[in-house]
Each structure stands twice: as structure tokens, then as C-alpha cells.
Structure 1
Amino acid sequence: MADGSNRSPGARLLTLVLLPVALLYGALLGLRPLFYRWRLFTTHRLPVPVISIGNITVGGTGKTPVTALVAKLLMDQGLKVAVLSRGYGGSLEGSCAVVSDGGSLLLTPQQCGDEPYLLARSLPGLSVVVGADRYRAGQLAVRQLSPDVFLLDDGFQHLRLYRDLNILLLDCRRPFGNGLSLPAGLLREPRGAAERADLLILTRCNDAAPAAALPDRPCCRSRHRLVSFHRLDNGTPLDVSLLAAARTVAFAGIADPAGFFSALEATGIRPIARLPLPDHEPYGGETLGLLEQMQQAAQAAWLLTTEKDAVKLLAVDEQLRSRIVAARLAVELEDAAPLTQALERVIQQCRLA
């Protein structure tokens, strides 16, 4: 695997074959921040503070639950928060549009993408705007929503927009994968780009000792945990003990389906069958048919999935929807002080504006 965990001869050979492309790709990406530093490319400022939450590797590091956590911390201080998201996978990708004005959901997950919709749906009062150009999306939000602060979702590489706080998420187990850029490794840009971060949040520290990252940066350790389960059709909460005793099938179309399946096992739930799907799976008829076949073959009472997947299944037929259970994932910080101190500085900026 590109994270370095697969040390088989075949994996090592493939890495060597891809290494020249990875070195060229990394070198080219390393030039991009320099162009901004040399002002060959322009960085734009929005009139209110911007907090970026992103990563340096491909794959899931928990950006969505961390964004939700930071949004709630700011909202609890009385601030009006707006998330700026790319809207990946939605039919409106590339356009600027308001997903939620803080009171009403204005778009479907098919239009705006699963992650922006999930954020808007799970946090009442949160505004969410999508747009590939986050500066233009922010201008739209300023005109229509008047936020106090922006959260730039998956924004570490979006250098066109100035940020007042740069939060970098790193997987606690292998923060930089095998240390190589795509396609030989997981890095979106060279490892040295991590120096742009003001604050690190190490994610998935459940059972892992933290790997060395950037010792000179403030850092929080965090763990992922499934905190609740509810039926998709009517929102009824289900107890873990009920699901652990039942026959279930688990499925997920996220960056790390294996992580979701492991989290289920950590709660005592052991599905009869599992179906990993590509990230941002659209759930067309073929996939839905396969899920029904698996459920019937396993004689399963429930189909378990993530909240991110569940928002795209709200419109499926009632019979299938009544058997789907959505699991809510939350991020818990072991030591929140570095994050709260960094946010306090931004909060003071908002109140002085």
C-alpha cells in the first residue's frame, strides 16, 4: 500500500516503478507555494477571519467530523459560522451555491455533495456554501449570510484564499504515508509543506502511539468513535447492544471503509458481511440491488453505514430505507487546550472586527 504498510516484493517493485513520476509530481507541487510567496499568484483575503482545516495526504483523516467539532466550538461562543466547501461529487461542483443559510437546507446531497450536506444537516445554525473557488464562495456568503468566521473545509492546498489559522490533520499511525508523493505514495504535496500549519491534530490515535510529525508545532491528539446509531427512515435511535445481537451487513463508500468496519467491531458489532465501496459512492440502482442481495443472503435485520453515506440514501424506497441504520462518528480530543487557545485568538479577531 502507498502508506508503506505493504512491504511485499510486488509493492516495493511498484513503488520503484512509480518513483520517477512521484518525484516529478512532488517537485512541481513544491513550486506552487513558492509562486504564492513570490506573488506570482495572488492570495485573496475575505473581510472576516478564515480557519482552514485540511490534510496533506489523500484518503480519510477525519476532516468532516473535525470541521463539525471546530464549528460547534465557535458557535458555542455565539459566532455565526459558515463553512466553505468544494462540493466534491455534487452536480453543482464548480458553481458557487448556498447549501444552508443556517436555518434551512436549500440543496440536496446530490447537488452539493455528501460532506457539505452532512455538515449542514448535523449542525443547526451552521451555514454552508460550496464552490471550487472558495474565495468567490466566501464573497457570496458575505453578501447573503454575513458570517463572523469561515471554516475552509479541506483547505490546506487552497492557497488562493488567505487563512488566519491553518489546521493540519495527520493520521496518527502514518502521518506522511511512506513519505512519497502521488502516485508512489499518499502525499498531495511534499512533506515540507506541513510547515505551513499553525496547529496539528493527530487523528485516529485510538490504539496507536503518535508518530513523529512536527515537534515545534502545537498539537492535539484525537480519536474517532461511533457515538450513536439511528434508523434512516424515522430517526429512531438504536442501542448498540441490540445491533450487536442482531445479524447485520455493513457497507461504506468513504475514503477508509476498513476504518468504519473496525469502529463497528470496537463497539461490539460484528457484521455477517461487509461491502467496501469507492469514496463518494453515488448509490445507483446496481449498488442498491447488491445491498439487498447481501441483506437477503445474510438474513440480516439491519444494513449499517456511515452518516456520510446515509444522507445519499434518504430517497431510496421505504422498504430498503427502513432497514438502514446510520452510525454517527465523532472526534474526541485527548487534550483540547492547543485547539481552544488557537481558536480563542481567532474569536478575539471576530469580536474586534
Structure 2
Amino acid sequence: MAFFVSLHHRLVTQGAQTWPDKLLFVVLLPVSLLYGAMNWLRGSCYDRGWLSTYRSSLPIISVGNLAVGGLGKTPVVDWLVNYFCRQGKRVAIVSRGYGGSFTGDVGVVSSGDGQLLMAARVAGDEPVLLARHNPHVPVLIARKRMIAIQELERSFDVDLVVLDDAFQHRQVGRSIDLVLLDATRPFGNGWPLPLGNLREFPCALQRADLLLLTRGQGAIHEKIAEKPTFSSRHVLAKHVTDLEGSEILVDPLRGKTIVAFAGIANPDAFFRSLSELGLSLSQQIPLADHVEYTPAVVRKLTEAAIGADVLITTEKDAVKLTANMFEIPCYQIPLTIEIGDYEAFGRHLQTLI
């Protein structure tokens, strides 16, 4: 499995260079075209009104991707929630709850009173992380997100909903479609899954309202698809927190033997960021996105940590870990997003909404 994942990554990032790459390209091309065509057809049915869309009385901001995973939607959702809370808005978050075991119609991860009502293994790691970051914001999960929004309309006093990972979720209408793109490769190799990493053909950006490039540097980027386009970058905090909640600065960790691990869509970017902070990583252990920390996975990490001083991971992984899992300290490091011209970005949000 790891071989095919590596082969696909190389095909997306470097193109078909070797004969196995070219063979895979030929095999996957018709599947990719069919996948893209089916999504285009589905989108056209929504555009023409042949498939129904629920229109809420609440303003809704959708945060989504054109490509699959690893672009940092969670920090962007955090940024939006904090921005509108500072404007005096009562904000709620709705997520699909991917990776969790919840099978009901709608689950309340947090009702906004500071209490966490669902565990990460049930609700999914991202909704729990968002609830921890925003204890006074209701966080709901639902596979059919329309049901969660209807629950917010009935039972919660909110002014605005942030819809996580919903660009392709057309069953719910939205006031703003904010789409994230990787600044280094906005369209990957230009092909939909499985030949590329796009969920839809790039023409889908025509229905976006605002584009945000992640892993960029500048303030305002040249327009893509004639849409207002901004640039942002992810920044690791200067402090870490252990699994019991105690916080220390990153500085004392420099010079220590560190084993880093991450079960996210792009673990290599996380490891690079740690190295850029001056941390010396003796081992880097990538795990599957939304990994379940079974006894076997914990045992693998424990064995890798023999002789190390500390373990370090992402906040997204840490919501599934407990302090008694490891014999050495395990730290999580927060990830935030910095938007180049955040004032202009905020003005665009206000205008669109």
C-alpha cells in the first residue's frame, strides 16, 4: 500500500517519468476523466436547480478545497470564528465529523458552554480540536449538514455558521464559498482523482467567491479564475503543551532527541516546520490521516521513542492521545495561520456576507 501511495504522490508532484509511472498514467486516465465528469455533471444538476439546495436563514461561510487534504482548513476555520466573534457575532461550526464513529443524524460536540460532549474517536479529531479552541462556540457534526444547520436554527442562538470542508457539499446553500489552494501547486497536476489530487476539474472555481492560497508568503496574490485571491502561511507556535495541559516554550527542546509523528494529510510539511524551528528530529513517523491510535500504533511509537527525550505531534493527533500512553513526555504544538493582508481579507468577507 505504501508503494502505491508513494507512486501516486510522485505522479501528482513530478509527473510520469519512469515506465511504471507512465503505465499507471494510462491505466488511471479514463478513471480520472470519469470521476471528474461525474462530479461536473452533479454540479451542473445543482446549478440548474435539478437537485435541491437548502437555503438557511443564517449566513453560512463554507471553507473547502479543490484538492484533497493537507491545506490547513482547521486553522482557517479557527481564524474565521475568531474574526467574526470579535465583530460581536454569535458563531457556530458545522462539520461532517470525518474519521469519527458517530452514526446519528446530528451530534453536538460542544453546545458552546465550555463543555466537550463527544470524544474524538466518536466525533472525529477536527471537530473536537475546533471545540477545544473555541469553547464558547457551538460545534455540531452531521453527515447531512443540512440537518445540523436546521438544529442550529431551532435550538441555538447564533448569527453565523462556518461550514467545514464543504465546497463539494452542494446540498446546503452558502453566503460565501471560501476555497483553499496550495500556493506551491494550486491545481496539483491538473487531473482529478485518482490520476491527480483534485476533487473536481479546476473550472469548479467559477462558483467560489474568495480564494486563499496556503503556504504562500505575499499579501494579495494575482487573481486565480478571476476571483479575489489572498495568500497565507502556516506558523507553528513558540510553545508546546503536554498531554496533561502543561505548557512550556519550544526553546528548551532544542538540542534534545525528539521523535516526531503525525497522522495528518501532509505530515512531511509538519516535520519540515519543526526542523525550521530548530528542533532536531531523530525520527519522523508519518501515519495515515485520521489514524486511530490502537495499541499496535502506540507500541510502534513507544519502540521508536526508545532512547529519545520527548515525542512531539500535532494538536489534531493529540486529541486522541492520553498522558499514560507513553513513558516519555509527548508534546503537541499549535498551528496557526497568518493571512497576508488580513484587513483587506476581512473587508472582502464583510462585503460578501
- TM-score, scaled to structure 2: 0.92
Match for residue 284 of structure 2? 274
Partners of 2:170 and 2:11 in 1: CA distance: 26
Quickly say closer, same or farther: Cα 1:89–1:23, change in 2 above 3 A: same
Partner of 2:6: none
Mapped to 1, the partners of 2:88 and 2:219 lie a distance apart of 36
Q: Give the 5 Å matches for 1:61-140.
A: 61-93=71-103, 95-103=105-113, 104-140=115-151
- Aligned pair 1:225/2:232, yes or no? no
Which residue does 1:18 correspond to in 2?
28
Indicate whether 1:199 and 2:210 are aligned.
yes
Answer yes or no: is 1:300 the counterpart of 2:308. yes
What are the residue-to-residue correspondences of 1:1-353 with 2, within 5 Å? 1-9=10-18, 10-93=20-103, 95-103=105-113, 104-205=115-216, 214=224, 216-296=226-306, 299-314=307-322, 317=324, 319-320=326-327, 323-345=329-351
- The alpha carbon displacement at 1:212 in A equals 7.1
Verify the 8 A CA contact 2:40 2:201 in the aligned structure 1. Answer: yes
1:243, distance to aligned residue in structure 2 (A): 1.3
In the aligned structure 2, how far is the partner of 1:2 from the partner of 1:44? 38
Quote the offset at 1:319 in angstroms: 4.8
- Kept in 2, the 8 Å contact 1:53–1:152? The answer is yes
Change (3 A) 1:227 1:274: same
Relative to structure 1, the CA distance from residue 25 to residue 240 in structure 2 (aligned partners, 3 Å threshold; closer, same or farther) is: same
CA positional deviation for 1:214: 1.3
1:232-251 Cα offsets, whole Å, 9 max, x none, are 33322222221121111000
- Asked if the contact 2:68–2:199 (Cα under 8 Å) also holds between the matched residues in 1, the reply is yes
The 1:209–1:71 alpha-carbon spacing in structure 2 relative to 1, beyond 3 Å, is: closer
User: Does the 8 Å contact 2:59/2:161 carry over to 1?
Assistant: yes
Q: Secondary structure of 2:37's partner? A: helix
Q: Which amino acid aligns with 1:4?
A: T
1:6 CA drift (Å) = 4.8
Describe the superposition over 1:40-87 as per-residue Cα deviations: whole angstroms up to 9, x where unpaired: 100111111000000011121110010100110001111111111000
Give the distance between the partners of 2:107 and 2:203, measured in 1 at CA.
34
Distance 1:38 1:233, change over 3 A: closer
Question: Runs of 5+ in structure 2 lacking a partner?
Answer: 1-9
Q: 1-side partners of 2:289 and 2:258: how far apart?
A: 22
8 Å contact kept, 2:219–2:232: no
Q: CA RMSD in A?
A: 2.0
Partner SS, residue 3 of structure 1? helix
Structure 2 CA distance for partners of 1:135 and 1:332, relative to 1, 3 Å: same
**Offset of residue 210 of structure 1:** 10
SS state at 1:326 partner:
strand
Question: 2:3 maps to what in 1?
Answer: none
* 1:213–1:182 CA distance, 2 compared to 1 (3 A): farther
Residue identity in the other structure for 1:197: A
CA gap 1:258/1:213 in 2 versus in 1, 3 angstroms: farther
- Determine if contact 1:71/1:151 at 8 Å carries over to the other structure: yes
For 1:175 and 1:318, locate their aligned partners in 2 and report how far apart those are by CA, in whole Å. 39
* 1:271 to 1:57, Cα distance in 2 relative to 1, 3 A: same
| 1:172–1:210 contact (8 Å) kept in structure 2 | no
**Aligned residue number for residue 5 of structure 2:** none
The gaps in structure 1 that reach 5 residues or longer are none
Distance of aligned partners of 1:214 and 1:165 in 2 relative to their CA distance in 1, 3 Å threshold: same
* 1:26-50 superposed Cα distances (whole Å, 9 cap, x missing partner): 1111111110122110011111100
Post-superposition CA distance 1:247-297 (Å, at most 9, x none): 11000000000010011011111210111000000100000001110111x
- In 1, are the aligned partners of 2:131 and 2:138 still within 8 Å (CA)? yes
| Matched residue type, 1:342 | H
Q: Residue 211 of structure 1: CA displacement?
A: 9.0
**TM-score w.r.t. length of structure 1:** 0.92
Does the 8 A contact of 2:220 with 2:340 survive in 1? no
Whichever residue aligns with residue 140 of structure 2, its letter is V
Tell me the CA shift for residue 334 of structure 1.
Answer: 1.1
Query: How many angstroms apart in 1 are the aligned matches of 2:69 and 2:132?
Result: 23
In the alignment, the residues of structure 2 paired with residue 256 and residue 107 of structure 1 have an alpha-carbon distance, to the nearest angstrom, of: 26
Q: Do the aligned partners of residues 176 and 281 (structure 1) sit closer, same or farther apart at CA in structure 2, a change above 3 Å counting?
A: same
Q: How many residues align?
A: 342
Three-state SS of the structure 2 residue aligned to 1:33 is helix
Shift in Å at residue 209 of structure 1?
12
CA contact (8 A) 2:221 2:230 kept: no
